[in-house]
Protein backbone atom coordinates (compact mmCIF):
# COMPACT_ATOMS: atom_id res chain seq x y z
CA UNK A 1 0.00 0.00 0.00
CA UNK A 2 1.26 3.50 -0.69
CA UNK A 3 2.34 5.57 2.32
CA UNK A 4 0.56 8.93 2.52
CA UNK A 5 1.97 11.82 4.60
CA UNK A 6 -0.23 14.85 5.28
CA UNK A 7 1.23 17.79 7.23
CA UNK A 8 0.19 21.37 7.92
CA UNK A 9 2.74 23.98 8.95
CA UNK A 10 2.00 27.60 9.85
CA UNK A 11 4.11 30.61 10.79
CA UNK A 12 3.21 34.17 11.84
CA UNK A 13 3.77 35.38 8.28
CA UNK A 14 2.56 32.55 6.11
CA UNK A 15 0.74 29.26 6.23
CA UNK A 16 1.78 26.47 3.93
CA UNK A 17 0.11 23.19 3.36
CA UNK A 18 2.15 20.26 2.21
CA UNK A 19 -0.42 18.21 0.42
CA UNK A 20 0.96 14.75 0.30
CA UNK A 21 3.82 12.58 -0.91
CA UNK A 22 3.44 9.08 -2.20
CA UNK A 23 6.00 6.40 -2.04
CA UNK A 24 6.00 2.81 -3.08
CA UNK A 25 4.45 1.17 -6.04
CA UNK A 26 2.59 3.08 -8.70
CA UNK A 27 -1.05 2.17 -8.63
CA UNK A 28 -3.63 2.50 -11.31
CA UNK A 29 -5.79 5.64 -11.60
CA UNK A 30 -8.90 3.58 -10.83
CA UNK A 31 -7.61 2.41 -7.45
CA UNK A 32 -6.16 5.78 -6.56
CA UNK A 33 -9.20 7.81 -7.52
CA UNK A 34 -11.23 6.78 -4.47
CA UNK A 35 -8.43 7.50 -2.06
CA UNK A 36 -7.64 10.74 -3.85
CA UNK A 37 -11.20 11.97 -3.32
CA UNK A 38 -10.97 11.20 0.40
CA UNK A 39 -7.57 12.87 0.59
CA UNK A 40 -8.84 16.03 -1.11
CA UNK A 41 -11.82 16.19 1.25
CA UNK A 42 -9.45 15.94 4.20
CA UNK A 43 -7.31 18.66 2.67
CA UNK A 44 -10.31 20.99 2.34
CA UNK A 45 -11.19 20.46 5.99
CA UNK A 46 -7.63 21.24 7.03
CA UNK A 47 -7.52 24.39 4.92
CA UNK A 48 -10.83 25.56 6.43
CA UNK A 49 -9.50 25.00 9.95
CA UNK A 50 -6.36 27.03 9.21
CA UNK A 51 -8.37 29.84 7.66
CA UNK A 52 -10.98 29.86 10.41
CA UNK A 53 -8.78 29.57 13.48
CA UNK A 54 -5.23 30.30 12.43
CA UNK A 55 -2.17 29.72 14.55
CA UNK A 56 -1.59 30.42 18.20
CA UNK A 57 0.07 33.67 17.17
CA UNK A 58 -3.13 34.65 15.38
CA UNK A 59 -5.14 33.83 18.50
CA UNK A 60 -2.92 36.11 20.56
CA UNK A 61 -3.29 39.02 18.14
CA UNK A 62 -7.06 38.61 17.97
CA UNK A 63 -7.24 38.44 21.74
CA UNK A 64 -5.19 41.61 22.09
CA UNK A 65 -7.39 43.42 19.61
CA UNK A 66 -10.59 42.37 21.33
CA UNK A 67 -9.18 43.58 24.64
CA UNK A 68 -8.46 46.98 23.14
CA UNK A 69 -4.67 46.88 22.95
CA UNK A 70 -2.39 46.79 19.96
CA UNK A 71 1.22 45.60 19.88
CA UNK A 72 3.57 48.30 18.70
CA UNK A 73 3.26 51.93 19.71
CA UNK A 74 5.04 55.25 19.72
CA UNK A 75 7.76 53.72 21.86
CA UNK A 76 9.93 52.98 18.84
CA UNK A 77 9.39 56.48 17.43
CA UNK A 78 10.39 58.04 20.75
CA UNK A 79 13.36 55.73 21.17
CA UNK A 80 12.15 54.71 24.63
CA UNK A 81 12.18 51.09 25.75
CA UNK A 82 10.39 49.19 28.46
CA UNK A 83 12.55 49.01 31.57
CA UNK A 84 10.10 47.58 34.08
CA UNK A 85 9.46 48.47 37.68
CA UNK A 86 9.47 46.72 41.02
CA UNK A 87 6.39 46.18 43.20
CA UNK A 88 6.93 49.43 45.12
CA UNK A 89 8.15 51.51 42.19
CA UNK A 90 6.28 53.76 39.77
CA UNK A 91 4.60 51.85 36.96
CA UNK A 92 6.53 51.73 33.67
CA UNK A 93 3.92 52.78 31.09
CA UNK A 94 6.25 51.82 28.25
CA UNK A 95 5.84 48.17 29.24
CA UNK A 96 2.11 48.51 28.57
CA UNK A 97 0.68 47.83 25.14
CA UNK A 98 -0.84 50.94 23.66
CA UNK A 99 -4.67 51.08 23.75
CA UNK A 100 -6.38 50.70 20.38
CA UNK A 101 -9.06 53.37 20.34
CA UNK A 102 -12.41 52.36 18.87
CA UNK A 103 -13.31 54.14 15.60
CA UNK A 104 -17.01 54.53 16.40
CA UNK A 105 -16.23 56.49 19.59
CA UNK A 106 -15.27 60.15 19.52
CA UNK A 107 -13.66 59.78 22.94
CA UNK A 108 -10.57 57.52 23.20
CA UNK A 109 -12.10 54.26 24.48
CA UNK A 110 -11.41 50.56 24.14
CA UNK A 111 -12.71 47.27 25.49
CA UNK A 112 -10.77 45.17 27.96
CA UNK A 113 -11.58 41.88 29.62
CA UNK A 114 -12.34 41.96 33.34
CA UNK A 115 -13.76 39.06 35.32
CA UNK A 116 -14.64 37.28 32.11
CA UNK A 117 -16.54 40.26 30.65
CA UNK A 118 -15.60 42.93 28.15
CA UNK A 119 -15.75 46.37 29.73
CA UNK A 120 -15.37 49.74 28.10
CA UNK A 121 -12.44 51.82 29.30
CA UNK A 122 -12.03 55.49 28.47
CA UNK A 123 -9.45 58.19 29.06
CA UNK A 124 -9.88 61.94 28.46
CA UNK A 125 -10.59 63.31 25.00
CA UNK A 126 -9.07 66.63 26.00
CA UNK A 127 -6.71 67.94 28.66
CA UNK A 128 -6.62 71.48 30.00
CA UNK A 129 -2.93 71.27 30.82
CA UNK A 130 -2.45 74.64 32.43
CA UNK A 131 -1.74 77.06 33.82
CA UNK A 132 -2.65 77.32 37.52
CA UNK A 133 -4.51 80.52 38.46
CA UNK A 134 -5.07 81.45 34.83
CA UNK A 135 -8.77 80.65 34.49
CA UNK A 136 -8.61 76.88 33.99
CA UNK A 137 -11.45 76.22 36.45
CA UNK A 138 -13.70 78.71 34.70
CA UNK A 139 -12.85 77.34 31.27
CA UNK A 140 -13.42 73.73 32.39
CA UNK A 141 -16.77 74.73 33.87
CA UNK A 142 -17.92 76.26 30.58
CA UNK A 143 -16.78 73.25 28.57
CA UNK A 144 -18.61 70.83 30.88
CA UNK A 145 -21.75 72.92 30.46
CA UNK A 146 -22.07 71.34 27.02
CA UNK A 147 -24.48 68.41 26.95
CA UNK A 148 -21.95 66.13 25.25
CA UNK A 149 -19.19 66.65 27.81
CA UNK A 150 -18.83 64.54 30.95
CA UNK A 151 -16.76 65.08 34.09
CA UNK A 152 -14.67 62.51 35.93
CA UNK A 153 -15.41 60.70 39.17
CA UNK A 154 -13.02 60.77 42.13
CA UNK A 155 -11.53 63.99 40.78
CA UNK A 156 -11.13 67.37 42.44
CA UNK A 157 -14.12 69.45 41.37
CA UNK A 158 -14.93 66.75 38.79
CA UNK A 159 -12.13 68.18 36.70
CA UNK A 160 -8.66 67.48 38.17
CA UNK A 161 -7.29 63.95 38.37
CA UNK A 162 -3.69 64.92 39.29
CA UNK A 163 -2.66 61.58 37.77
CA UNK A 164 0.03 62.68 35.32
CA UNK A 165 1.74 65.22 37.55
CA UNK A 166 1.49 63.67 41.03
CA UNK A 167 -0.72 60.68 41.76
CA UNK A 168 1.14 58.27 39.47
CA UNK A 169 4.28 59.06 41.49
CA UNK A 170 2.58 58.58 44.82
CA UNK A 171 2.30 62.27 45.70
CA UNK A 172 -0.64 64.08 47.22
CA UNK A 173 -1.50 67.69 46.36
CA UNK A 174 0.90 68.77 49.12
CA UNK A 175 3.56 66.44 47.65
CA UNK A 176 3.35 64.10 50.66
CA UNK A 177 3.96 60.43 49.88
CA UNK A 178 1.03 58.11 49.22
CA UNK A 179 0.37 54.88 47.32
CA UNK A 180 0.99 55.46 43.58
CA UNK A 181 -2.00 55.44 41.26
CA UNK A 182 -1.35 53.17 38.26
CA UNK A 183 -2.90 53.42 34.80
CA UNK A 184 -5.85 51.24 35.81
CA UNK A 185 -6.48 53.63 38.68
CA UNK A 186 -6.47 56.52 36.19
CA UNK A 187 -9.00 54.73 33.97
CA UNK A 188 -11.27 54.17 36.96
CA UNK A 189 -11.55 57.94 37.42
CA UNK A 190 -13.51 57.98 34.16
CA UNK A 191 -15.58 54.83 34.77
CA UNK A 192 -18.84 56.76 35.15
CA UNK A 193 -18.12 58.70 31.96
CA UNK A 194 -17.28 55.47 30.11
CA UNK A 195 -20.63 53.95 31.08
CA UNK A 196 -22.50 57.02 29.86
CA UNK A 197 -20.46 57.18 26.65
CA UNK A 198 -21.19 53.53 25.90
CA UNK A 199 -24.93 53.97 26.45
CA UNK A 200 -25.27 57.12 24.32
CA UNK A 201 -25.19 57.09 20.53
CA UNK A 202 -26.33 59.22 17.62
CA UNK A 203 -28.80 57.96 15.00
CA UNK A 204 -25.90 56.44 13.10
CA UNK A 205 -24.66 54.52 16.14
CA UNK A 206 -21.71 56.83 16.76
CA UNK A 207 -20.75 57.45 20.38
CA UNK A 208 -20.30 61.23 20.41
CA UNK A 209 -19.97 62.03 24.13
CA UNK A 210 -16.57 62.95 25.54
CA UNK A 211 -14.82 63.46 28.86
CA UNK A 212 -11.83 65.53 29.86
CA UNK A 213 -9.23 66.27 32.49
CA UNK A 214 -8.40 69.81 33.65
CA UNK A 215 -5.36 69.42 35.88
CA UNK A 216 -3.38 72.62 35.31
CA UNK A 217 -0.31 71.22 37.06
CA UNK A 218 0.19 68.68 34.26
CA UNK A 219 1.82 71.30 32.05
CA UNK A 220 4.68 72.22 34.34
CA UNK A 221 4.90 69.93 37.36
CA UNK A 222 7.66 67.50 36.39
CA UNK A 223 8.97 67.08 39.94
CA UNK A 224 8.28 63.36 39.97
CA UNK A 225 10.69 62.71 37.09
CA UNK A 226 13.33 60.80 39.15
CA UNK A 227 10.71 58.10 39.81
CA UNK A 228 10.19 57.34 36.12
CA UNK A 229 12.04 54.03 35.51
CA UNK A 230 13.78 55.33 32.36
CA UNK A 231 15.26 58.21 34.40
CA UNK A 232 16.82 56.04 37.09
CA UNK A 233 20.34 57.21 37.91
CA UNK A 234 20.21 60.25 35.60
CA UNK A 235 21.13 63.79 36.65
CA UNK A 236 18.48 65.25 34.36
CA UNK A 237 15.36 63.65 32.90
CA UNK A 238 15.24 61.81 29.59
CA UNK A 239 11.51 61.06 29.94
CA UNK A 240 8.81 63.48 31.13
CA UNK A 241 5.01 63.68 31.14
CA UNK A 242 4.75 64.43 27.37
CA UNK A 243 6.61 61.21 26.53
CA UNK A 244 4.31 59.18 28.79
CA UNK A 245 1.18 60.69 27.29
CA UNK A 246 2.48 60.19 23.75
CA UNK A 247 2.65 56.47 24.43
CA UNK A 248 -1.00 56.38 25.51
CA UNK A 249 -2.69 58.84 23.14
CA UNK A 250 -2.95 58.83 19.36
CA UNK A 251 -4.63 62.20 18.78
CA UNK A 252 -4.76 64.16 22.04
CA UNK A 253 -6.31 67.61 22.34
CA UNK A 254 -4.42 69.91 24.68
CA UNK A 255 -5.69 73.28 25.85
CA UNK A 256 -3.45 75.86 27.50
CA UNK A 257 -4.45 79.21 28.91
CA UNK A 258 -1.55 81.50 29.79
CA UNK A 259 -1.74 84.55 32.03
CA UNK A 260 0.80 87.31 32.54
CA UNK A 261 3.20 85.42 34.87
CA UNK A 262 3.53 88.39 37.23
CA UNK A 263 -0.24 88.61 37.78
CA UNK A 264 -0.52 84.85 37.95
CA UNK A 265 2.01 84.64 40.76
CA UNK A 266 0.29 87.28 42.90
CA UNK A 267 -3.10 85.57 42.51
CA UNK A 268 -1.53 82.20 43.29
CA UNK A 269 0.20 83.59 46.36
CA UNK A 270 -3.05 84.94 47.76
CA UNK A 271 -4.87 81.66 47.05
CA UNK A 272 -2.15 79.74 48.90
CA UNK A 273 -2.62 81.81 52.06
CA UNK A 274 -0.60 84.95 51.39
CA UNK A 275 -0.97 87.80 53.87
CA UNK A 276 -0.39 91.12 52.10
CA UNK A 277 1.20 92.92 49.17
CA UNK A 278 4.12 93.90 51.42
CA UNK A 279 4.70 90.30 52.49
CA UNK A 280 4.44 89.22 48.85
CA UNK A 281 7.25 91.62 47.94
CA UNK A 282 9.55 90.23 50.64
CA UNK A 283 8.72 86.64 49.75
CA UNK A 284 9.26 87.14 46.02
CA UNK A 285 12.68 88.68 46.56
CA UNK A 286 13.81 85.64 48.56
CA UNK A 287 12.43 83.20 46.01
CA UNK A 288 14.07 85.02 43.10
CA UNK A 289 17.39 84.83 44.91
CA UNK A 290 16.91 81.09 45.46
CA UNK A 291 16.14 80.43 41.80
CA UNK A 292 18.96 82.62 40.49
CA UNK A 293 21.48 80.99 42.84
CA UNK A 294 20.43 77.56 41.60
CA UNK A 295 20.63 78.61 37.96
CA UNK A 296 24.25 79.76 38.39
CA UNK A 297 25.29 76.18 39.06
CA UNK A 298 22.63 74.16 37.23
CA UNK A 299 20.47 74.33 34.13
CA UNK A 300 17.17 76.16 34.24
CA UNK A 301 15.37 72.83 33.80
CA UNK A 302 17.16 71.21 36.72
CA UNK A 303 16.13 74.08 38.98
CA UNK A 304 12.51 74.19 37.81
CA UNK A 305 11.97 70.43 37.94
CA UNK A 306 13.55 69.97 41.38
CA UNK A 307 11.30 68.90 44.23
CA UNK A 308 13.98 69.90 46.74
CA UNK A 309 14.19 73.47 45.38
CA UNK A 310 10.40 73.76 45.23
CA UNK A 311 10.14 72.86 48.89
CA UNK A 312 12.39 75.77 49.84
CA UNK A 313 10.20 78.33 48.04
CA UNK A 314 7.28 80.18 49.60
CA UNK A 315 5.68 80.90 46.22
CA UNK A 316 5.26 78.88 43.04
CA UNK A 317 7.44 81.31 41.14
CA UNK A 318 8.71 78.47 38.93
CA UNK A 319 5.32 78.12 37.20
CA UNK A 320 5.85 81.37 35.27
CA UNK A 321 8.63 79.96 33.08
CA UNK A 322 6.12 79.01 30.39
CA UNK A 323 8.53 78.71 27.48
CA UNK A 324 10.73 76.16 29.29
CA UNK A 325 7.80 73.79 29.79
CA UNK A 326 6.32 74.51 26.37
CA UNK A 327 9.55 73.40 24.69
CA UNK A 328 9.35 70.06 26.49
CA UNK A 329 5.87 69.46 25.12
CA UNK A 330 6.79 70.56 21.60
CA UNK A 331 9.67 68.08 21.55
CA UNK A 332 7.07 65.33 21.62
CA UNK A 333 3.84 66.73 20.15
CA UNK A 334 3.33 68.94 17.09
CA UNK A 335 2.12 72.51 17.57
CA UNK A 336 -1.33 71.74 16.12
CA UNK A 337 -2.10 69.49 19.10
CA UNK A 338 -2.36 72.58 21.29
CA UNK A 339 -5.01 75.28 21.52
CA UNK A 340 -3.28 78.14 23.32
CA UNK A 341 -5.29 80.98 24.84
CA UNK A 342 -4.62 83.97 27.07
CA UNK A 343 -6.45 84.69 30.33
CA UNK A 344 -6.71 88.35 29.44
CA UNK A 345 -8.55 87.54 26.20
CA UNK A 346 -10.83 85.10 28.00
CA UNK A 347 -11.78 87.79 30.53
CA UNK A 348 -12.36 90.41 27.85
CA UNK A 349 -14.37 88.32 25.38
CA UNK A 350 -15.30 84.90 26.79
CA UNK A 351 -17.67 84.15 23.91
CA UNK A 352 -14.94 84.46 21.30
CA UNK A 353 -12.60 82.27 23.32
CA UNK A 354 -15.30 79.70 23.98
CA UNK A 355 -16.04 79.53 20.27
CA UNK A 356 -12.40 78.64 19.63
CA UNK A 357 -12.54 75.94 22.28
CA UNK A 358 -15.79 74.38 21.06
CA UNK A 359 -14.57 74.35 17.48
CA UNK A 360 -11.30 72.79 18.55
CA UNK A 361 -13.15 70.07 20.46
CA UNK A 362 -15.64 69.65 17.59
CA UNK A 363 -18.67 70.37 19.76
CA UNK A 364 -21.94 71.44 18.17
CA UNK A 365 -23.58 74.64 19.40
CA UNK A 366 -25.98 77.42 18.46
CA UNK A 367 -25.14 81.12 18.82
CA UNK A 368 -27.84 81.64 21.42
CA UNK A 369 -26.61 78.76 23.50
CA UNK A 370 -22.98 79.91 23.19
CA UNK A 371 -24.02 83.37 24.37
CA UNK A 372 -25.78 81.94 27.41
CA UNK A 373 -22.72 79.92 28.41
CA UNK A 374 -20.37 82.86 27.85
CA UNK A 375 -22.54 85.07 30.07
CA UNK A 376 -22.33 82.75 33.08
CA UNK A 377 -20.51 84.32 36.06
CA UNK A 378 -16.80 83.56 36.35
CA UNK A 379 -15.75 80.66 38.54
CA UNK A 380 -13.06 80.83 41.24
CA UNK A 381 -12.39 84.57 41.24
CA UNK A 382 -9.90 85.27 44.03
CA UNK A 383 -11.73 87.56 46.44
CA UNK A 384 -8.72 87.73 48.72
CA UNK A 385 -6.43 89.36 46.17
CA UNK A 386 -9.18 91.89 45.49
CA UNK A 387 -9.60 92.70 49.18
CA UNK A 388 -5.85 92.97 49.75
CA UNK A 389 -5.47 95.30 46.79
CA UNK A 390 -2.95 95.21 43.91
CA UNK A 391 0.67 94.22 44.32
CA UNK A 392 3.21 96.92 44.98
CA UNK A 393 4.55 98.62 41.86
CA UNK A 394 8.15 97.84 42.80
CA UNK A 395 7.22 94.16 43.03
CA UNK A 396 5.63 94.25 39.59
CA UNK A 397 8.74 95.83 38.06
CA UNK A 398 10.94 93.22 39.74
CA UNK A 399 8.87 90.29 38.49
CA UNK A 400 8.42 91.71 34.99
CA UNK A 401 12.19 91.92 34.68
CA UNK A 402 12.65 88.45 36.16
CA UNK A 403 10.25 86.86 33.67
CA UNK A 404 11.09 89.09 30.66
CA UNK A 405 13.46 86.75 28.81
CA UNK A 406 11.04 83.84 29.17
CA UNK A 407 8.09 85.89 27.93
CA UNK A 408 10.18 86.86 24.91
CA UNK A 409 11.10 83.22 24.40
CA UNK A 410 7.43 82.19 24.55
CA UNK A 411 6.42 84.89 22.09
CA UNK A 412 9.13 83.68 19.70
CA UNK A 413 8.22 80.04 20.20
CA UNK A 414 4.52 80.65 19.48
CA UNK A 415 5.22 83.44 16.96
CA UNK A 416 2.76 85.68 18.77
CA UNK A 417 3.76 89.01 20.35
CA UNK A 418 0.67 89.00 22.56
CA UNK A 419 2.56 86.70 24.90
CA UNK A 420 4.94 89.55 25.75
CA UNK A 421 2.09 91.06 27.77
CA UNK A 422 3.20 94.59 26.91
CA UNK A 423 -0.25 96.09 27.43
CATH number for the domain spanning 312: value is 3.40.50.300
Residues 168 and 40 in one domain: no
Residue 378, classed as helix, strand or coil, is coil
One domain for residues 49 and 128: no
pTM: 0.80
Q: How many CB atoms lie within 10 A of CB 185?
A: 16
Q: Calculate Rg over the CA atoms of the chain.
A: 29
Q: What is the mean pLDDT of residues 290-301?
A: 95
Q: Which residue has the higher pLDDT, 348 or 26?
A: 348
Looking at the fold, whether 194 and 304 belong to one and the same domain comes out as yes
**pLDDT over 80 (residue 43):** no
| Cβ–Cβ under 8 Å, residues 277 and 269 | no
- 242, HSE (Cβ side, Cα atoms, 13 Å): 19
* Residue 63 covered by a domain: no
CA-nearest of 303, 208, 215, 219 to 261 is 219
**20 plus 127 within the same structural domain:** no
**Other Cβ atoms within 10 Å of 121 Cβ, number:** 22
Phi, psi (deg, nearest 5) at residue 388 = -80, -10
Which whole number is the average pLDDT over 136-165? 93
**Comparing 344 with 56, which gets the higher pLDDT?**
344
258 and 171 share one domain: yes
Say yes or no to pLDDT of 372 above 50: yes
What is the domain count for the chain? 2
Q: Is 255 helix (H, G, I), strand (E, B) or coil?
A: strand
Q: Is residue 271 part of a domain?
A: yes
Q: Is residue 27 part of a domain?
A: yes
Same domain? 44 vs 147: no
pLDDT confidence tier of residue 192, bands split at 50, 70 and 90: very high
Q: Is residue 89 part of a domain?
A: no
- Whether omega for the bond prior to residue 192 falls within 30 degrees of 0, making it cis, is no
For residues 302-311, average pLDDT: 94
Establish if 102 belongs to a structural domain.
no
Separation between Cα atoms, residue 331 and residue 315, nearest integer Å: 28
One domain for residues 126 and 33: no
| Residue 104 counted as domain residue | no
Neighbouring residues of 207: CB distance < 8 A, sequence distance ≥ 6 = 102, 104, 105, 106, 107, 109, 197, 198, 200, 201
Question: What pLDDT is recorded for position 419?
Answer: 97
Mean of per-residue pLDDT scores for the chain = 83
Q: What mean pLDDT comes out for the span 27-32?
A: 38
Average of per-residue pLDDT across 384-402: 86
Q: Report the pLDDT value the prediction gives residue 380, as an integer from 0 to 100.
A: 60
Residue 285 clears pLDDT 60, i.e. is over it:
yes
d(CA 5, CA 22): 7
Question: For 88-124, what is each residue's pLDDT tens digit?
Answer: 889 999 999 888 899 999 999 999 988 889 999 999 9
pLDDT of residue 381: 57
Does residue 388 lie in a domain region? yes
* Helix residue spans in 97-182 (DSSP H): 136-144
What is the predicted pLDDT for the residue at 172? 80
Please give the DSSP secondary-structure letter assigned to residue 209: -
Q: pLDDT at position 8, please?
A: 34
How far is it, in rounded angstroms, from Cα 38 to Cα 129? 68
For residue 79, what pLDDT is reported?
Answer: 79
The pLDDT of residue 55 is 33
pLDDT at 382: 57
Q: Is 88 domain-assigned?
A: no
**CA 189/CA 153 separation, integer angstroms:** 5
Are residue 197 and residue 279 in the same domain, yes or no? yes
402 and 261: one domain? yes
Domain that holds residue 386: 122-420
Do 231 and 135 share a structural domain?
yes
Amino acid sequence: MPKVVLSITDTSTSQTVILFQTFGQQVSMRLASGRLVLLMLGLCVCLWLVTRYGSRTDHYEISMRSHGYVSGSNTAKLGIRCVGAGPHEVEDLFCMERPRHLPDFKNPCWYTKEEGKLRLKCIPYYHILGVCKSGTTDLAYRIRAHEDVLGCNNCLGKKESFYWCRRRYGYEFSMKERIPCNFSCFQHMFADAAQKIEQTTTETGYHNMITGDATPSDFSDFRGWPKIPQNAGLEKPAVLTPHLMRHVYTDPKFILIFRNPTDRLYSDYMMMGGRSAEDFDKTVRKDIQTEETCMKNHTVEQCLYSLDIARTLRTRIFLGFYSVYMREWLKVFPREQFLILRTEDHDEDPKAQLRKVYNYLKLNYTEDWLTSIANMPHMRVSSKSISEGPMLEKTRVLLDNFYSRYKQDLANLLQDKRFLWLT
